[in-house]
Each structure stands twice: as C-alpha cells, then as structure tokens.
Structure 1
C-alpha cells in the first residue's frame, strides 16, 4: 500500500496540487508540432485456421523487436506477431475460438481478453501466467453481442510496462446487427488505438511507470503505433473504433472543426440507437464506436481537447483525415442499432461498495493474489457503488457488462450510456453501476476488478472475485490454497 501513498506524502510536503498532470500544472500539447506525413498503419486482420467442427484457431506470438517511430531512430519495443502492437482479431457471436499464445519475450507475461465474457481459466489475468518460451492455449465460445474488445497483458506488478512497450491489440466481435454499420475493415471500418508516450533523445521509450501520481503520462501520441499520422478515406461514412490504450491519460475526443458524429457503440456493445455528439471522454481501457460523415475533398483532424487537471490535462492532434475527391456513397445509418435490453438491477439486488483513495488498495486492502474479496452468483445482476476519495481513477470489472446508473446522484454523460465494462471515476465522485455477470461458475479461479490506470493497478488497486453456482456462496473459501502467483517487480 506504499507506492501511491508515498506520492501523496511527497506532493503534500512540497505543496504541489495533486491533481496536476506531470506535477507542473502546464497543459501538455502537440498542437502545431505535427506535419501529418506518415500514412496511418492499420493493424492487419489475423486469419484463423478452421477445423472440421468449425473452431477458429488463432496464433499470437509475443516477441521483442525494434520499431522506427521517428525517421532514422529505432526504438526497442515489444509486439504480437510483429514489433509493436498486435493484429486485429475478428470473430462472430456464437463462434468457438481457440488460441496459441506463444511467449518469445525474455520474461513471463499474460494475455487478457478485456471485455470478453468467458471462463475464468481463459481470462488471461495474473493467474494465467505464460512463462518465457511457453505456449498458452485458451479456448471458449463467444456468447455476447457485437462489441469492440481488446487484448493486453495482465500480470500483477508489470502490466503497465508490458502494455507500454507495445503488447496490445483489438478483438472485434460481430453479429447481424453490427453488419448494418460500415464494416469493410481498413476502408470504412477503421481501428484507432490511441496511446501517449515519452521518448528520450535517442528514440527509446522513457519507461518510468511512476512518473506522476497517475503513472506514465506521455507528451507524444501514437495512433495504431504511427507517429504524426494521416488517413485517406474513400467512403462518405466511416466507422471509427476508438480505444484508449494508454497507461493513464484520458482523452476528450472530437474533431478540429467541431463536427458532430454518431456514437453507435460503447465498451461492451452497440447502443440501441445512434446518439449525436461532438465530444466524448475515454479513460484508459474504454472504447467507443463512432460513425462520421465526410464530404469529398475535405480535411479534418481527430483531436483530443484539453480536459480537467489530472489525467485529462492535455490537448493533442491525433490523426489528420483526408477525404478523397470522390467518395463511395454509404448506406444510411440505421435508426435502431441493437435489440439488446438495458441492464437493470432489481430493488432487492445485492449492493457492493468499493472505496478508492490515494492508497494502493480498494476498500483499504491492497491486492493479494491468494485472497478472494467477493463471491458472486453466476448470471447475477448487482449494484456496485464505486467511491473515489483520492486522485483520478477508473474502474474495470472482468467477465461483466454494466450500465452506469448515476454519478453523484446525477445521470451519466450521454457517451457513458449503454453497455460498458470500464467507467471513469474522477476524484470526489461516487458512481453506481448495474452489473450483469457471466455464467461460467468456478469457485477456485478468480476474475479481477481494478483501476485501469495501469500504475495504480500494478501498485495494488485491484481485487478478486469468483463466480459460483447460485446458492453456494457461503461454501466458498476466501483463500486460494497456494495457487496464486507472486507479485512481479
């Protein structure tokens, strides 16, 4: 419980306001510095092999390499099936999927499927460690609606460093409803993975994960691993799948010309109908799907506007978008998107409360790999109340989908409605969510809930829960008998 608490003491001694990103109060920006000279890299779609029974098998290899973000400078990086980031996986609701996750890194890691509803042994959290040189073989059936999910390491104590070096990628779930939206990958269906970095003069990463009280806050932006990018588009409507893949920074997403766009999906699936916006906030780990209209020959910049002090302190140009002189006509946006019902909890639903502060803990307890903090019946709907009494945090729950009920008693922002698995919890805020859990009982293998600011997570702001057969909760041991992995350093 010491690491974040040490920051709090140090900042109070020197009289620095703890809400200031980078601890100097200045707004970090790249506006006016970019020339938009590099074509935006589109992560390739990973093709599976398909066996006689229809199971789709994918191979993902975690490996070290070097990447040229800046001309003439090679940055040591980690990637999946390449030197930086990983390929995009695409599968459909109802598919049976299997993976060979090969670890060619010089140390052990994990690979977690963020946003997936799946058995705990397949979740890829800190209990599913992949030793250097080993191969992990998870498999499951996709039993959830269309969504933009992602994958990244989740080893306790080193998640921040492993993600920062480049281990992450998108996992797209499709269904019949999602196919009514722009769906030609790389043409009118574009992934946008936003990450902030700090570079040294020789082009290597600055790797101090505890650079600020929030962790690493960078001053340069990579989009899909591309620095200073532009994107040429050829369709009149383009679907952007936005992922905040950063360690700590939040982004206020919009466009430089302040145009409106249609929000069509959140973390865990499509909205029931499109919502017109010109701004949305994404904290680390959150996703959003937007559809944007373009006119032939026009240009605009996907932009992150300056937010409040803390993890939103910064203003950045992200990627320049250049429309072709002739654009293919897109089908009209459907007025109804998803038939999935809203997640609601009954009046007598179980209520669980979680308090976040400046300590490396939840409810005063730092992460313990051998302790079960909560026991949840399979398929339950509960109300979780998350109160933040410290720095900016957010909150992610594995094997679950939730609806944000309110923030400090007020309705959530429009962009926070719909199906989610991660929510921003600013300092001084209490958030209530109605949570629906998965249906894979396993009393001996836990899922995680945690702050998704990765330095906070690594420092101990994480807890564990198991999903069990309803009615057996009292029989479940709150200790794992020697099955926990040690904390990585």
Structure 2
C-alpha cells in the first residue's frame, strides 16, 4: 500500500498547524469524548479557525447511526417510522447543544431497501415549526418527493410510499422547506438512505453495516459560548463552521476489523466543500451519488460539494493506521473567494485504525467482481437540450416561485442540460427524480471521481457543465420536482426552479396549484419572494 500522492492545490510535506488556544474540547455523550484540536486557515479576511483533530489527542469511537428496522406488511411493504424531534447533544464544553434529529437528538437512523422493494415511510413532526423530508437521490412520484409542496405542520404526520426503481446507491434524506432548509439541516436533520440491488450483493463488496460498510456524514458547525449552534455566522456561501463533526462526533476514530472497509461519504455541510485524501493507505472509488461504478477505480482524491456523496474502499493490513483528511483544493474561483469558501483549509476527518488481526473474509480490491452495469456513452442525439444559467441566487434569471412551472419534461425523454455558472461564487446543481452522467466540464472530460452516475454536480464559474439526464418512471402534471443549488443558503434565497414530468397523454400545466400553494394563496402569502 502507498499513501495518497499530493493532489492539485496541496503542498507536499506541508507542516501541520499547531494547537489552538481552545486546546482540548471536553466532549461527552453520544460516543463523544475529549479531543485535541488544531487551527487551520479560515475563510474571512480575519481568519476564523476551523477546529479539527490533530492526531495527538484522545479520540472518540466513530458513532454509527442505527440501522432502522422496518415493519414488513403482509404484502411485503417495508414500513419505516421517522419522528422529527428536538433534543440535546453534548458536543461543546460550554454546555449542552440544542439540536434536532429523527428518532433521536441529532441526525437520524440509516434506512435501507433494495431495488424492487415497496417502502412506506411515516413521518411525524414533533418540531415547533413546519418541516418536510426530501429523499435526496431517489426516483419516486412527485407527490412523495418531500419538497416544499409536501409540508408537515407541527403535530402532524405525512406518509410517503413508492416502489424503489433504481439500482444500488447511497441516497440521503433531509428537510426541503421553502426558506428554512439551511437552519433545519444545520440543527441536525439528516440521515442516509442506502439502496441495494442483486448485482451489488454478489459483487463481493463489504455489506456488513457498521463493521465494514460505514456511513461517514461529514458536517461543520460553529458554536456560541453556551454550547448552542451559532446560526447567524454566515458568509456569502452560507453557514461555514469552525468545528468538524463526523456522524455528530468530534475527533473520531474507526476500528477496522476487515481487510476492506467501505466508506459512504456524505457532504452534509451547508456550504463547505471537502477534498478527501487518505494518508497511509490507498483509496478506491466504487460509486458516486446515484450508483456504483462497473468496477473499482483507484483514485488519489475526491472532491465533494454540499449534497454530493461518494463510496470508497480503504484496504488496510492488520495493525495499520490511516487518516482520512480534507486538503486544500481548487474550486476554479478567485484566490480570495476560494479562501473565503474554506478551500484552503487542511484538517483530519477520520482516523482508521486496523486491529492486530482481522475477522471475516479476507478480500482484496482486486478480487471484487463486476459492481454495476456498464456506464452509458453520451447521447448521440438528445431529445431535448436545456440551458441552465446560474447567477446570483437565480436560475435562468428567476428565483423560486412555487406556483410557476419552469420546465416540462416528457416521460422517457433523453435530455441534455448545459449548466453555466455565470456568477463569481461557487454553485452546484441538484436535480430531483433524476440521475445523470457528466459529458464535459468546460469542454474537458470529467475528473476521475466524477465518472459515474450523479444527482448533484459542481459548476465552476465560467466552465459550463454538460450532463445527460435520466429521469424516473413517474409522471404527474400536478406535482412538481425541484432543481436547485445545494449551497443551502442559496437554495433558501430562491436559487431553485421546478419541473413537471408528463406523458404523451397529459397536457403541460400552466401553473402549479398544490395544497401548499393554495393554502399560501388563501393566507395572502407570496411564494418565491426573496
């Protein structure tokens, strides 16, 4: 095994920053214990440090979100129950942190289903405000998508039900309210939704959840002196935190007990990007957001913008230690803007410490069989080509309006989208009910970690991204899906549009009139005003 080579923007042999004046943070409960922290370059003219483990202090075991056990109905439907609720988490020495979670104080359980399963999810809202739950990365009927058109008022329940129609992937769920998504996600509302299929089950990939198949939800937060989340410390990018949390823990370590460990990486941050490398071991990409690759692909690094995911394999020998890190990287921005976005920061994320001896099967990356179907070539002749121009909190010159139809997609159409960021700030694009392949970025082929099925893509300023899009099998002229920037403050400020999917027998709608829109109109509210 060899350590990852230096990546673009990384300085080989760069010295680690020293300890901050905050020193050691005492952390308790939820698997968190004391951790040593270091300061790194910030993102404002007067740098504000990000706190991250130095590797020299006591580490806490990585908490593993519980795997939800569904009830199975007589017809085979897998029924999950989620309750959005308030709680307290022990993260900061100043005191308990008021937080939100699903079925707990922070974050939520991991849901798991397989292609062909019918799932029903009962969501109860015990929060003091309206919320929604969006199934990010899922193809499903629009009325169950969980966007702003499916609000759940305090004390109420909402039921989503659909048949899983897509192959193995690492999806996730989170609020998708109109105007308050960043705040609700920032308080802790998120969780993974793992999809499996027959091919991936037989491939030899690690599938023992929490043992060799490990969720890694990476987020950043800032805190007030009393331990509460600092929710008003925004930049032009949104909430950029000074403290790194992995599965809700500070300074975590994972005890490796198998030769191969599968990490399901999620960038759950509001605004920060991560450029992951592994020091002390090799890294192999096996999947992007919306599906597995046909076979393992050795990589040196992977960049994830907000909402993006990646599945990687780490191969260790008994007694070996490796470190997942985020290192400086280029977002294609002006240097001052890049620094302000946190792209110059370097910090440890997760220590991987192998046991003296392994249990379970001894399987190397080279022994894995085919993981997924071959990736398709670009469309020779797309049925439709759409232009998406990203500017300051606008897409194609407009901010979000819940009653407006921005695009109409015909069921089964092969679409090519050309996404052009004409703003100086970083933006990405997430499309609901879809997965896509990147054709080119600024006229160049996608990078090695972008060559797979995706549902969210980074769009550098001045470098148009061309994607070929595959939509789900449902059509409904009355209920819309969203496409939007996943920098959550930009999302909340209206950088979002809507599309409906119709079949050949349905008339394109001229406006959206869901119950949420009608209720707001009755109350005299105005959608999309920012």
Name whichever of 26-35 and 277-286 sits farther off.
Answer: 26-35
Would you say the 8 A contact 1:342–1:418 is kept in 2?
Answer: no
Q: Distance in 2 between matches of 1:466 and 1:343?
A: 26
Q: Distance in 2 between matches of 1:311 and 1:228?
A: 19
Would you say the 8 A contact 2:266–2:310 is kept in 1?
Answer: yes
1:98 is matched with which residue? 120
Would you say the 8 A contact 2:415–2:468 is kept in 1?
Answer: yes
1:301 is matched with which residue? 323
1:448 is matched with which residue? 482
Structure 2: which 5+ residue stretches go unaligned? 1-40, 331-337
Would you say the 8 A contact 2:149–2:514 is kept in 1?
Answer: no
Q: Distance in 2 between matches of 1:298 and 1:22?
A: 34
1:381 is matched with which residue? 414
Q: 52, 77, 81: which one pairs with 2:74?
A: 52
Instruction: Please state how far the C-alpha of 1:30 moved relative to its aligned partner.
Output: 3.5
Cα distance per residue 1:378-427 (max 9 Å; x no partner): 12210001100111001100000100000010001010011100001122
RMSD value over aligned CA atoms? 1.9
Would you say the 8 A contact 2:50–2:241 is kept in 1?
Answer: no
Cα distance per residue 1:87-116 (max 9 Å; x no partner): 000111110000110000001100000000
Map 1:2-401; keep pairs closer than 5 Å.
22-24=43-45, 26=47, 28-30=49-51, 33=54, 35-70=57-92, 73-179=95-201, 180=203, 181-208=205-232, 211-257=234-280, 259-308=281-330, 309=338, 310=341, 312-328=343-359, 329-333=361-365, 334-342=368-376, 344-357=378-391, 359-390=392-423, 391-401=425-435
Instruction: Please state how far the C-alpha of 1:367 moved relative to its aligned partner.
Output: 0.5
Q: 1:177 aligns to what SS in structure 2?
A: helix
Q: Distance in 2 between matches of 1:126 and 1:31?
A: 35
Would you say the 8 A contact 1:30–1:317 is kept in 2?
Answer: no
Instruction: Please state how far the C-alpha of 1:248 moved relative to its aligned partner.
Output: 0.8
Cα distance per residue 1:185-213 (max 9 Å; x no partner): 0100000000011112221111026x111
Would you say the 8 A contact 2:50–2:244 is kept in 1?
Answer: no
Would you say the 8 A contact 1:311–1:392 is kept in 2?
Answer: no
Instruction: Please state how far the C-alpha of 1:26 moved relative to its aligned partner.
Output: 4.8
Instruction: Please state how far the C-alpha of 1:477 moved relative to its aligned partner.
Output: 2.4
Q: Distance in 1 between matches of 2:46 and 2:457?
A: 25
Q: What is the TM-score normalised by the length of structure 1? A: 0.91
2:35 is matched with which residue? none
Instruction: Please state how far the C-alpha of 1:478 moved relative to its aligned partner.
Output: 2.7
2:447 is matched with which residue? 413
Structure 1: which 5+ residue stretches go unaligned? 1-19
1:404 is matched with which residue? 438
Q: Distance in 2 between matches of 1:173 and 1:343?
A: 24
Q: Distance in 2 between matches of 1:217 and 1:395?
A: 19
Instruction: Please state how far the C-alpha of 1:441 moved relative to its aligned partner.
Output: 0.6
Q: What is the TM-score normalised by the length of structure 2? A: 0.84
Q: Distance in 2 between matches of 1:231 and 1:79?
A: 23
